[in-house]
Structure 1
Amino acid sequence: MTRFRPCIDLHDGKVKQIVGSTLQDIGAGPKENFVSDQSAAWFAHRYREDGLTGGHVIMLGGGNEEVALQALEAFPGGLQIGGGIKAVNALKYLEAGASHVIVTSAIFDADGKFNERELETIAEVVGRDRLVLDLSCKAHEGGWRVAMNRWQLLTDLKVDEAAFRRLSPYCAEFLIHAVDVEGKCEGIDEDLVVHLAGWCGLPMTYAGGARSLEDLKLVDRLSDGKIDVTIGSALDIFGGSGVKYEECVAFNRRVG
């Protein structure tokens, strides 16, 4: 059965909800849907109290490491962490309490070319069972391609069945942000969800566009319960009006 997975997105040291497609290295900052007065550790503690395991902390750019580590300390073993994770620093986050590290950009070169040797290195350092691969993607030429560097650079890696066959031996799970709809609360990418469910047998979390509890149920139906869902900007604890956090907690308790 599909489950709700929580998130803590960090930007400039604060918990935020942003429109993913507006992230960039220079120029105007991203479009922010919500900036919390609460700390990352506060959210982590709440997830712990409500038994919501498997959520992710994402560090969007610099200035987030200290608060991210505080979140991991508040919920040891309950959160995954991503954002700037490489072979040289991954163990630090696992030792700080992360259940898994999430990797994207480190397995590509600066031009977005997939580097399988680097993936092998990271998998050897952390172990397959503690590695999550983030294949967050944008629509491209009738399919999808992985996007990196704050989702601004399209890589050479297509998101398709062949990619999952190639990558699955290295990791325990996949995380997929549908970048084109991320943060917009306009509905999920149904076509992507259907394809993901057919392409991959490993645990997977989808994020992007969910605007109601019905979207959680929709992913359950479209994926035959294979794919979990993160809801961000629509959630009331992130300033949204589409989904009540307590409804998501109750949903997970019903599915067990």
Structure 2
Amino acid sequence: MKRVPISLSLTMSTPRHSVFRPCIDLHDGKVKQIVGGTLSDTAPEGLKTNFVARQSAGEFARMYKEHNLEGGHVIKLGPGNDDAAKEALAAWPGGLQIGGGINETNAKEWLDAGASKVIVTSSLFPNAKFSLEKLKTISSAVGKERLVIDLSCRRRGSKWLVAMNKWQDITDIEVCKESLDLFSEYCSEFLIHAADVEGLCKGIDEALVQKLGEWVRIPTTYAGGAKAIDDLNLVDKLSGGRVDLTYGSSLDIFGGTKVKFEELVERNARDPSNRT
């Protein structure tokens, strides 16, 4: 039987601590770290890239497998990434989630390719309007336990609104307790990028993380702005251990100088909530 880390299988009522979740962001077939707010179909010349890896997506997947860092996500940012994504999934079948262009017609293909779960956003928001019918359809097609909903968002005043299409288009859904309660009826996890701070290495959106800790009832991963290993402790404190953290551009395996991958591996390994 496949071993599932306790941190991913516990109910939210069980005491736990926030842990590090790995990622593989793909752009033009390569592993990259990009400033999220600069992604654009209409102005590609404005794209700001922090890092382009020499290693393949499969090499990153094998590294995560070696350290048993399950629950990470592979995100395809635009076209030209399918081969790299499938390489990563083949390198660690059942160890990674996949997102980017996933819908009810191709989700099974990606699960068959080795994804533990599929991650969806844009397919739930035709014309940037939420469709409960679309959500019910894909949840039924893959099963609630194999569905992750990406509710990555941009801040507008005192609210966070879900952003789709590489975070370019603002939808009609606010990230709040009511929306998270609704979505959690149809999925097993949330992935939430704070798009406004993604890739900037200037700190997490503390207010959002604190609110997520109050609102979520299922496992949730936050990404955006993490710049120090202490940010994992901060997320743990702000969310009451209900939210996990992904590091990107600050991490040494992605060319960063602020956070060491090995330290995060050690942090996860000694955390009682991440042991079977």
- State how far apart, in whole Å, the 2-side matches of 1:120 and 1:225 are: 29
Partner SS, residue 179 of structure 2: helix
**Would you say 1:89 and 2:106 are equivalent positions?**
yes
Give, in angstroms, the shift of residue 30 of structure 1: 1.7
Give, in angstroms, the shift of residue 54 of structure 1: 0.2
Corresponding residue number in structure 2 for 1:38: 55
Partner SS, residue 93 of structure 2: coil
**Would you say 1:80 and 2:105 are equivalent positions?**
no
Q: Which amino acid aligns with 2:102?
A: I
Corresponding residue number in structure 2 for 1:249: 265
Q: How does 1:210-225 map to 2 (within 5 A)?
A: 210-225=226-241
* Maintained 8 Å contact 2:181/2:217: no
**Would you say 1:192 and 2:208 are equivalent positions?**
yes
**Would you say 1:68 and 2:68 are equivalent positions?**
no
Partner SS, residue 26 of structure 1: coil
- Choose which of 246, 251, 256 in structure 2 pairs with 1:240: 256
- State how far apart, in whole Å, the 1-side matches of 2:38 and 2:47 are: 5
- State how far apart, in whole Å, the 1-side matches of 2:154 and 2:167 are: 8
- Choose which of 27, 51, 55 in structure 1 pairs with 2:68: 51
Corresponding residue number in structure 2 for 1:104: 121
- State how far apart, in whole Å, the 2-side matches of 1:144 and 1:243 are: 27
Which is further off, 53-62 or 20-29? 20-29
Give, in angstroms, the shift of residue 141 of structure 1: 2.8
Corresponding residue number in structure 2 for 1:202: 218
Compute the TM-score of the two structures, normalised by the length of structure 2: 0.91
Structure 1 stretches of 5 or more lacking a match? none
What percentage of residue pairs aligned between the two structures are identical?
58
- State how far apart, in whole Å, the 1-side matches of 2:131 and 2:50 are: 34
Give, in angstroms, the shift of residue 221 of structure 1: 0.8
Partner SS, residue 204 of structure 2: coil
Q: Which amino acid aligns with 2:24?
A: I
Give, in angstroms, the shift of residue 200 of structure 1: 1.1
- State how far apart, in whole Å, the 2-side matches of 1:67 and 1:179 are: 23
Q: Which amino acid aligns with 1:34?
A: F
Cα distance per residue 1:168-207 (max 9 Å; x no partner): 1100000000011000000000000000110111000000
Corresponding residue number in structure 1 for 2:187: 171
- State how far apart, in whole Å, the 2-side matches of 1:68 and 1:179 are: 22
Partner SS, residue 155 of structure 1: strand
Structure 2 stretches of 5 or more lacking a match? 1-16
Cα distance per residue 1:2-37 (max 9 Å; x no partner): 110000000000000000000000221520000000
Cα distance per residue 1:122-160 (max 9 Å; x no partner): 001000000000000000131100001110110000000
Q: Which amino acid aligns with 1:242?
A: K
